């Protein structure tokens, strides 16, 4: 639970500011796309006046429209050394903010991307052109990020500062480039080196939100501190890396508890210690889901939230069945004893059915590993593509089901074979049709309809589904690296955007609610309450804090070593760099190797035809100069001869006189 003033949530979610009717659809679309609302207090404002940010965004929009005036292939914009997004275009984009507001150019490019993407949806006749323009915004933003050499300026001013634009004469919610790129799924921006460097710092907790100003991020001051004690700080659990590790640990422990509980069935119906802890964990997870929806709204619910809800519902039903069994006191009455055993068995049946979901749920917390992350992205896209298949399937199933029911009623005047019809249609969908049962069903219409239904489902629809899955798989794996980086950034921002000052991961959130928030927060001073929270967090997270402090101490030595060499804090010395680090570097210029490489390296910036044309133009220019020199020399020679002839005539005339 958050200790901060939650009154800002209404402003955060936009509930205090209704959009105009013409912008309502666009406003709701953008709101739903936000993965989790950033914590924004009433005092947080845009780092640059929203009017100026909007003006810069409009300038950039005009620049993109002029550079891409018509439809063209996306490859023309995205390829290296593009003839459309040239160095001059990138430099012009940088100058859109002038000398004072250059920090927000990348943010404005993302705003332009959203504008063009929205325009592509409402102007389908020019959708291709608008989508290429949106891609151009990403390309320019990526080039600007990667061309910035000042890491501190890049992370603190360009990527992490919050900006707003003006919509309906009102400033929008402040956000930064890191959040906006995740919300817009801007893969090229997310995949840039500077962006990933910033995400890495946020993931490790090297960049943390300022306690006095949540809108800004500051460097973790003890990053290079080699003291073990200095890293034993409960606030370090706010780092996404440690929160993720704790979630993975608790998920594995949750799975272990379930495995023990399902393999040690209590025939008498009593709850043992393992089952009690299992249901305590479940209550903690349920409370966390409810609190998240209560704080942020229903629109943040996704696939995993629905999946977890089904799992927790099964466990709660199992617990309810157990309580019902408890109510049946085992007496000498065989009927009561039988009811107790039946409800106890039913409880374990619900518990056993949830086993696959327990194991699949573990994937949710393993997506920080590249293999599982890329696989989950593919599954997510496949599930979206399946919507088309299931929409067609539902319509077809309803139509044929009505036909079979009509045949059943026409034959017997009563509806008697519904179970058979539904089961046979389900078998056909699962590629196991049963034709024998329809031979005498409304003969000959029943068997004909069933053949048609089987053909449509097994040949047409299932092949459509396979084609959709194949397309989704190729689209993702052709861009698997950027998709994984986007998923990782999404996960990092979920932790960074969390509004809680005190991180109590389920099931520890029950401790916060029932032992801290409810009995203490409403009357205790903020300073005392925060101190008690730190003590409790230090106790419950003590094993994790000890391990984290050990690794952070080792990392501090690595950081100091990098700084002595003049490298970045997160640099690692690779094999090809060790030779130079040990003082045995190779001087390419001294041994002549640099000159040799300069002579043989190819020109990758220009195409071969362009290079040949340039060379031809230079040769033509040289030939033109030679011709001009010859003409001039010829003219000079003719003038000299004419002058000589005139002089000779003059001399002859004088001599004759």
- For the stretch 583-601, pLDDT in tens is 666 778 888 888 888 888 8
Residues 6 or more apart in contact with residue 175 via CB below 8 angstroms: 38, 162, 163, 164, 183
pLDDT, position 35: 45
Q: Give DSSP secondary structure letters for 93-130.
A: HHGGGTTT-GGGHHHHHHHHHHHHHHHHHH-GGGHHHH
Mean pLDDT over residues 181-205, rounded? Answer: 92
Q: Which of 508, 481, 221, 217 is nearest to 373 (CA)?
A: 481
Q: Which of 180, 185, 213, 168 is nearest to 50 (CA)?
A: 168
**DSSP 8-state secondary structure symbol assigned to residue 72:** -
pLDDT digits (tens, 9 = 90+) for 480-489: 788 888 889 9
Mean pLDDT over residues 397-401, rounded? Answer: 90
**DSSP 8-state secondary structure symbol assigned to residue 18:** P
**Rounded to 5 degrees, what are φ and ψ at 445?**
-70, -35
Confidence of residue 422 (pLDDT cuts 50, 70, 90): confident
Rounded to whole angstroms, the Cα distance separating 334 from 357 reads: 36
- CA dist 116 → 230, 250, 507 (Å): 49, 43, 44
Rounded to whole angstroms, the Cα distance separating 490 from 199 reads: 10
Evaluate whether 140 touches 89 at the Cβ level (below 8 Å): yes
Is 167 strand, coil or helix? strand
Report the percent of the chain where pLDDT is more than 70.
Answer: 87
Q: Which of 157, 174, 149 is nearest to 100 (CA)?
A: 157
pLDDT digits (tens, 9 = 90+) for 339-386: 888 888 898 899 999 999 999 888 888 887 777 877 788 787 787 778
pLDDT beyond 80 at 188 = yes
Predicted model pTM: 0.80
- Of residues 412 and 144, more confidence is placed in 144
CB atoms within 10 A of CB 262: 17
pLDDT, position 591: 80
**DSSP 8-state secondary structure symbol assigned to residue 192:** S
Give percent helix, percent strand, percent coil of the chain, each to the nearest 5.
70, 0, 25
pLDDT beyond 80 at 540 = yes
Residues 6 or more apart in contact with residue 275 via CB below 8 angstroms: 261, 266
pLDDT beyond 80 at 577 = no
Q: Which of 113, 491, 40 is nearest to 302 (CA)?
A: 491
Rounded to whole angstroms, the Cα distance separating 580 from 576 reads: 8
Mean pLDDT over residues 91-115, rounded? Answer: 91
Long-range pairs for 92-96 at CB < 8 Å and ≥24 separation?
Answer: 92/63, 93/60, 93/63, 93/140, 93/144, 94/144, 96/56, 96/59, 96/60, 96/63
Rounded to whole angstroms, the Cα distance separating 78 from 140 reads: 10
Dihedral (CA of 346, 351, 354, 356) sign: negative
Residues 6 or more apart in contact with residue 305 via CB below 8 angstroms: 289
pLDDT, position 325: 83
Report the percent of the chain where pLDDT is more than 90.
Answer: 26
* Mean pLDDT taken over the chain: 82
**Looking at the chain, how many residues does it have?**
657
Mean pLDDT over residues 70-98, rounded? Answer: 89
Confidence of residue 137 (pLDDT cuts 50, 70, 90): very high
Mean pLDDT over residues 490-494, rounded? Answer: 87
Q: Which of 287, 209, 164, 289 is nearest to 39 (CA)?
A: 209
Evaluate whether 146 touches 192 at the Cβ level (below 8 Å): yes
Strands (E), 367-456: none
pLDDT beyond 90 at 131 = yes
- Of residues 388 and 163, more confidence is placed in 163
pLDDT beyond 50 at 24 = no
Rounded to whole angstroms, the Cα distance separating 485 from 483 reads: 5
């Amino acid at each position: 639970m958050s200790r901060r003033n939650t009154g800002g949530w209404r402003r955060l979610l936009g509930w205090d500011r209704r959009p105009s009717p013409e912008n309502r659809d666009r406003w709701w679309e953008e709101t739903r796309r936000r993965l989790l609302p950033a914590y924004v207090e009433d005092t947080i404002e845009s780092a640059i006046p929203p009017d100026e940010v909007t003006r810069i965004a409009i300038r950039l929009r005009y620049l993109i429209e002029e550079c891409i005036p018509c439809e063209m292939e996306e490859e023309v914009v995205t390829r290296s050394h593009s003839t459309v997004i040239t160095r001059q275009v990138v430099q012009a984009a940088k100058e859109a903010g002038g000398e004072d507001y250059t920090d927000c150019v990348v943010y404005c490019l993302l705003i332009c991307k959203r504008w063009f993407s929205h325009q592509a949806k409402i102007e389908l006749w020019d959708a291709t052109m608008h989508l290429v323009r949106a891609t151009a915004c990403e390309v320019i933003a990526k080039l600007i990020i990667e061309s910035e050499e000042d890491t501190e300026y890049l992370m603190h001013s360009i990527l992490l500062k919050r900006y707003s634009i003006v919509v309906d004469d009102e400033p929008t919610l402040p956000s930064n480039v890191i959040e906006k790129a995740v919300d817009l799924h801007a893969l090229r921006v997310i995949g840039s080196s500077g962006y990933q460097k910033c995400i890495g710092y946020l993931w490790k907790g090297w960049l943390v939100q300022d306690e006095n100003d949540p809108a800004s991020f500051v460097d973790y001051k003890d990053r290079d501190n080699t003291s073990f004690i200095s890293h034993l700080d409960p606030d370090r659990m706010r780092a996404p890396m440690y929160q993720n590790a704790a979630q993975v640990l608790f998920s594995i422990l949750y799975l272990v508890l379930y495995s023990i509980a399902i393999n040690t069935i209590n025939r008498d119906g009593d709850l043992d210690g393992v089952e009690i802890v299992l249901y305590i964990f479940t209550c903690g997870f349920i409370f966390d889901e409810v609190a998240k929806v209560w704080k942020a709204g229903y629109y943040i619910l996704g696939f995993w939230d629905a999946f977890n809800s089904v799992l927790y519902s099964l466990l709660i039903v199992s617990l309810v069945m157990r309580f019902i069994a408890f109510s049946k006191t085992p007496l000498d009455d065989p009927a009561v004893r039988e009811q107790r055993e039946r409800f106890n068995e039913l409880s374990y049946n619900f518990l056993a059915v949830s086993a696959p979901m327990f194991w699949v749920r573990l994937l949710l917390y393993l997506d920080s590993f590249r293999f599982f992350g890329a696989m989950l992205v593919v599954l997510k896209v496949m599930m979206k593509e399946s919507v088309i298949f299931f929409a067609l399937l539902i319509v077809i199933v309803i139509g044929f089901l009505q036909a079979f029911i009509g045949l059943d009623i026409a034959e017997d005047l009563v509806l008697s074979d519904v179970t058979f019809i539904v089961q046979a249609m389900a078998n056909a969908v699962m590629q196991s049709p049963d034709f024998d049962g329809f031979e005498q069903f409304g003969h000959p219409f029943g068997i004909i309809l069933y053949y048609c239904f089987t053909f449509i489902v097994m040949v047409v629809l299932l092949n459509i589904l396979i084609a959709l899955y194949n397309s989704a798989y190729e689209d993702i794996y052709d861009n698997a690296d950027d998709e994984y980086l986007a998923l990782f950034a999404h996960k990092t921002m979920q932790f960074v955007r969390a509004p809680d000052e005190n991180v109590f991961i389920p099931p520890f959130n029950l401790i916060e609610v029932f032992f801290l928030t409810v009995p203490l927060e409403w009357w205790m001073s903020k300073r005392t309450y925060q101190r008690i929270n730190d003590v409790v967090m230090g106790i419950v997270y003590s094993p994790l804090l000890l391990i984290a402090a050990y690794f952070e101490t080792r990392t501090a030595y690595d950081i100091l070593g990098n700084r002595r060499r003049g490298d970045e804090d997160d640099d690692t010395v690779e094999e090809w760099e060790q030779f130079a680090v040990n003082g045995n570097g190779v001087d390419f210029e001294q041994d002549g190797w640099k000159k040799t490489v300069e002579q043989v390296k190819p020109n990758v910036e220009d195409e071969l035809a362009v290079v040949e044309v340039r060379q031809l133009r230079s040769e033509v220019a040289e030939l033109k100069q030679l011709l001009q020199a010859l003409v001039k020399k010829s003219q000079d020679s003719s003038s000299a001869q004419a002058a000589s002839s005139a002089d000779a005539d003059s001399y002859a005339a004088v001599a004759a006189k």
